[in-house]
Structures are given as C-alpha cells and as structure tokens.
Amino acid sequence: MKKKYILLTMMLGGATVFAQDLTSKKGETMLPEAGDWAVQFDAAPFLNYAGNLFNAGATAPGATWINTGTIAGKYFKDASTAYRVKLNIGMGSMTDKALVGDVTSTATPVPMVEDSKKDGWTNITIGAGMEMRRGKGRLQGFYGAELLFMMGSTKTTYTYGNAYDFTNLPSQTNGADPLGIDTDVQEIKSGSTIGLGIRGFVGCEYFIAAKISIGAEYGWGLGLSSTGNGSTTVKQVNSAATALEDYTSESAGSSAFGIGADINGGNNLGTTSLVATFHF
C-alpha cells in the first residue's frame, strides 16, 4: 500500500512539473513571445475528420471555408498583447444545364440543344483588432475587440441553345413583365452589399505543443449592411410586336442591422467556435 502511495505521489508530482514546464523537450518555448506571428484556422473540420477515423466514417476536410470561413492572423507586440487581422476573399460560380429540343430541326427524334444558368458571386471580408492575453501556463485566456468590413455581390446569367429571332423565343420562358409582354431573362444582378461589424470577443486556448494551440472563441457584436439596387435584363417582343428588344428593370435594395452573440460565425461577424493557431 505504501509503495502504491509513493508511486501515485511521484506520478502526480511529475504531472504537476509537466504542466508548469513551458518548454518542449527540445527546449522550445511553448507560448507566443514578442515579435511572433500567428495564423489561425477553423479547427472543427479537422477535429471531426480525426474523430471519424475511429468509426470508419472519415471524410477529408473540404474547401467549404472558401465561402464562409475567415483566416485570421496575429502579430504579438509582447507576450500579452497581439494585433489581429482577418481576411476572406471568396468568389465562385455554379452552372446548371438543361437539354431542350432544337426548334429548327424536323428530324426524328428531335436533336437536343443546351440551355444554361450560371450563378456567380463575390464575397470579401477584412478586419482588424487588438487582443489582450492572460495566463501563466499552457492554458491562456484572451479578450479584445475588432472591426470588420464586408462587401459582396451576385450575378446570374442565362444562355439558350435555340437562337433568338422574332418567331423563336428562347426555351426557358420565365413568365411575363408587368405589361403582359412575353419575356426571357438574360441576366439578373444584385446590388453590391457593403457591411460593417464591430465586436468584442473572449476565449481561451491550450498549447498542445510548442507554439501550437487549440482554442475556443465567443463574441458579441453589432453588424449592419446595405445593399444597392439590382437589375434584371430580359429579351422581349416590342410593344409594336415587330421585333425583339432588351429590357432592363431595377429592383429595390435593402438594409439590415443586428446585435447579438456570434459564436459559429452568426450575424456575419466572422468568427468560429473552435480554432487552431500556429505561431512562428
């Protein structure tokens, strides 16, 4: 019994020394220092992947962060103060296609031509702030504030396999305009959206290795945005019913305002609940 007590005491003592040891086996400093830089990513996809390895359900982390996530960087003024920057440049497109009959052909079966709808988008977010830190061991707490700016837009373009002429309107007829004239959509453009976010944040991180940490962050902030007028361009028969013409109409813009918590990136204020940070 006495031997077991001594062994337990030695184990607990060793664990305490390890917890207080802020250098790696190679003598590397565990915590960030003045002049260090850091890059921060959303850790959830990678932790989910690692966890699924044990139940044969692993799917490699994808690139969904391109549209929704934000990469954060830090510069440490000193061990307890860091400047933060955030950046997300997202853009992409998606095309849906459909086969329709060639209206100029008399063959049987009727040959097919292709209609398409292409959606494109752009979303840019930038931010800057300051982070204050506390802690004497591997577990570090932090808090601070930051300002974020966002802008984005969307556009949808339609193309038709059957050529335009007065007797042959395109295949994908999208209804009628307010005057009852048959129309076919050529392009739909949203107005540009501009947004501003101001948020405070608090969180903690644990250094699992020299200059590598896993942490969680929770924020509360204010966000507002404004979207300009959009437009829709259609091909239509003119009022005299003698020719086709392009017709462009405007759609009203919008604005939004919100205050609240933003864990998991809510309110478009640009955070994640679980992050991995690499210092160098």
Give the 3-state secondary structure of 262-280. CHHHHHHCCCCCEEEEEEC
Q: How high is the pLDDT of residue 170?
A: 57
Which range has the top average pLDDT, 9-23, 91-105, 130-144, 150-164? 130-144
For the segment 33-60, the average pLDDT, to the nearest whole number, is: 59
What is the per-residue pLDDT across 123-151, written as a single tens digit (0 to 9) for each? 888 999 999 999 888 999 999 999 989 89
Kindly report the average pLDDT of the chain as a whole number.
Answer: 76
Query: Which of the two residues, 123 and 271, has the higher pLDDT score?
Result: 123
Is residue 67 very low, low, confident or very high in pLDDT (cuts 50, 70, 90)?
Answer: very low
Indicate whether 115 pLDDT > 90: no
Q: Are 93 and 120 in contact (CB under 8 A)?
A: yes
- CA torsion sign for 19, 21, 27, 30 is positive
Residue 232: name the closest of 217, 221, 247, 254 by CA: 247
Could you count the other beta carbons within 10 Å of the beta carbon of residue 206?
13
Which range has the top average pLDDT, 18-27, 30-39, 54-63, 100-109? 30-39
Indicate whether 16 pLDDT > 90: no
3-state SS of 167-184 is: CECCCCCCCECCCCCEEE
- CA 145/CA 125 separation, integer angstroms: 16
- CA 220/CA 240 separation, integer angstroms: 59
* Domain locations in the chain as residue ranges: 30-279
- Identify whether 109 is preceded by a cis peptide bond (ω within 30 of 0): yes
Global pTM reads 0.68
- CA 215/CA 227 separation, integer angstroms: 35
What is the per-residue pLDDT across 194-216, written as a single tens digit (0 to 9) for each? 988 888 989 999 999 999 999 98
Is residue 182 very low, low, confident or very high in pLDDT (cuts 50, 70, 90)?
Answer: low
Indicate whether 68 pLDDT > 70: no
Q: How high is the pLDDT of residue 4?
A: 40
Query: Which of the two residues, 167 and 276, has the higher pLDDT score?
Result: 276
Q: How high is the pLDDT of residue 184?
A: 78
Residue 199: name the closest of 258, 134, 140, 151 by CA: 258
